[in-house]
Structure 1
């Protein structure tokens, strides 16, 4: 045993040892040593104060200091080293060196456990003063709801973490009982008897084969001859691949493995990690299957990190819940550079460890700014691959719609208060003159028709087109004379006089046809749908289209609504929602399939008429109305009629 906090010249050999105990398995030793309370270096008032704090004013057999003064000191051991194979105790006597191997080396240091006891006494007194009548408090305590959780089967990995935890080690140490010992001083006869075991009892030196070597053999043992070392290939962790091993995988697996390990990466860095000559179009096709675009950088998808039927390593939360929470964090970073951890946690309502893990994947903490996205916005990628960026934006709109329903929030809640104002557009005088000349050329044909109509008098009637009440409605101009004005209010239908039947239509007309085709197919599948749900389905439809083949650009809510009404097969159902409804404005706009050419159309129209009177109708009322207007209606027809509305 060693006493590192005391000089070697000041031993405890002559000091009275009051008690000793040991835990053999843990190699822990505690000694109680008396203190000289009459020494001029001892402060008696301080010793009395410590005893009072520890034991209080009462007398009990469990008191630490029975004399009402601190008259003893406890020393507790710690292991100086865990590997004692290189250490031994040696005794030299009569020309012989006797060596005894050591199984443990302990350092004895003062223990201050009495201070913990004093703190506990203080807390008990404070609780007694503030608690009052404890029996009355218990009687008046209100019932509280508790959450019952059933323990899941413990995996081997979780078991290893639990065994290595501090709490488990403390519990194991407390389970071993203390063995009380009797202390014998250095000059005691029992101590002298134990010291005799340090000397070798065998008188035959031939038994010590290790100590009868010749000088040459002993030198060979000290300096063994060099041997050819076999080069052993290092074995890496099971989840780590070298670049050579990585490039043997298919391209899709390479991209997935890289994104799963890096979490967030610019596209240029990803191309640099792949083999030279890899086609960037193929990489773009693969990266969109395992990652999402956030601020021009690719972030691995949540379902790649948290596969189905798995659970959180921190809290045991299912993978489906983790994916929704992480998607919300990624979506927030599509809106702004920094987010606050408390705000995220208050919405997704997941344990702090999981929220921190989500943020550490894509962000870093910044002083007074919360968590900032790890990488700068990759503007070059967005400009170079605008079609991919647009498709990813449509995909995020679909994800946003799902998150709004799950977490009950609105995008407007997270719009930054201070948004950057767009730069003003400056139009020169020459451009204004050119625009005026083009408008005059476009209006020339209309003026010519009006003049001819006046000359012809009443013999020819010119059909007057209704004047639109919308402002800045775009005109059908040629490519050479088109000037973008930044506003799109709708697309002409196939029957419109502006539609070019010879060329297949302009890009805007093509998009209008595609949009109406999507609307008709959607309503033939769902029959009744709100504007909000139609937008979600449209965003998913755009995101599922191949890269570069999308004809939709900047489709507004008004265009989508016009496409429904211009299809001539759908009509808006004016459902009278109550004033205090929680439904969003887009959810209050309900549209239904009106004309399909089937006999069932009259049943559907009658149902729509019922819902124009009340927004909530019982099934028996619908059945009675159908029987009144159309006679007996089968249960199968009623189920077919009501299922789209549920």
Structure 2
């Protein structure tokens, strides 16, 4: 007995997979009804389904003649639902509850393990199930009865409706604008019951025809439960080993990993921080600390870290303000986020915070009301900006958080100069965004940074003469330089350009002389003129007479990228380009508007004389619009025709451009060509197209 098989095979059964109804077969369960009391003999009035949701509704009759049926209750329910009126839309047309509705819910969402089996003549035929649904009675008629009851109560309590309407007419209406939705809020809304219910209601019902169990159509459909391809043999031999087959039937339990608790965002673990790449370490520290001297930043990093690499990383996430590093606004407020206080979008917050940072590069203290009046942001956001980088002082406003770090400026003049050029580009952008006047851009004398001495042109000239009388021949050149110094309206020393300029032409503001007041604040040394000139990489007496090849290359590359630019926008891009150049570069020589415009004309560009609207408040540089006239590609003629249209009107419609192109070039101009042309050279606003730079975005 021990040698015999203890689990003998009693019978072998062939198993077939039937696929005819694989995507149409549903299993209905009636959990509130015993199996002995089926609905096979009950008349089905209607049936409908939502295939995507696998939701089914069946409407069946009730046996009102049954001794178990309470007729008085049935009449009362019908009266509550439909009232006393007789309409086609009534739920119960016989004034008696004579039907009930069954609604399905999914018993399981994964039916891959379930199939319907039919055994016939020693063969087992399996058909996979599309869904398993539990049918339960629906009580939606009670909701309809409640709504009818509320309508009747409202009608009875109507009373003097005219007085109520008059009172409603004088009620104050409060309009509120919804805040921009964050990604987390959007995900929560997608998972909410209201959203899911709305999505379910959007799918239309598919009405079906019900066939009883003994109907001929039902018998015909049941034949599809048997495999229809009995003659086709497939190789279904089991090639798995017993252990592999057992593992397929009963896979081993997967051990769930215990998630480590996440450290709060405002708590830093130095051990974990130092495992990150250097760039992430610097970004994390600056994002949490907000304002930090470079020496403190080096102290928080791993000992022995290369300071040059740290400088390269910190310039990507922070800006230099009074010799200290302040985290950039777009790091604190990433794109597609909003203010936690007011819901203001991140782009608007960044502009307001950049303005405050720029104010601190010019002044030691700022007044909160003055900042709020310009940036026009809610008080909570402005206060949040100030608390990040300043402390309140009695009768002085808000003072910058840290003292000026002159040691860092002295050790790293190249970094300070690059940051200064970036701030010049930021200043031009802020002037355009907030429509600031020259008075708004000037720093207040009383708030100048400590250690910075303001010297007028006359006083500097007198000091130079005194030193010359003392027998210092080495200062002769300095005296000559002082004679070229004038006095502006604010009393600050300004460099006088030796190059003759045409009427109405202004030199580009790329010299560091005008920034004497905030030189040390921005990270620039406040030594004599010769040191500032060497920091700029040029001598005041050396001015290029014609645009250099490098300047032409920059202008040409810029217009190949933007196609249309105003003079003020080109200046801003040029300042950003200068900030990326090494100290002492030849382009740091004074570049006037004349030289810049000459470089534009040498780059196959032309000025487009756009007739600006009379109410336009654009400055002179903003009304000088230049565009690429020739690039050598097939689109040159298209662009030239477009520019000719704008020389007659400052705005055009799309159909006007389309018809003009078709008239000139025939029907070869496609919609894609027109879209490319407009996208390169124009912007759309209020259904009209404008040249880039001629209208505020």
TM-score, structure 2 as length reference: 0.46
TM-score, structure 1 as length reference: 0.49
* Highest RCO, 1 vs 2 (Cα 8 Å, sep ≥ 6): 2
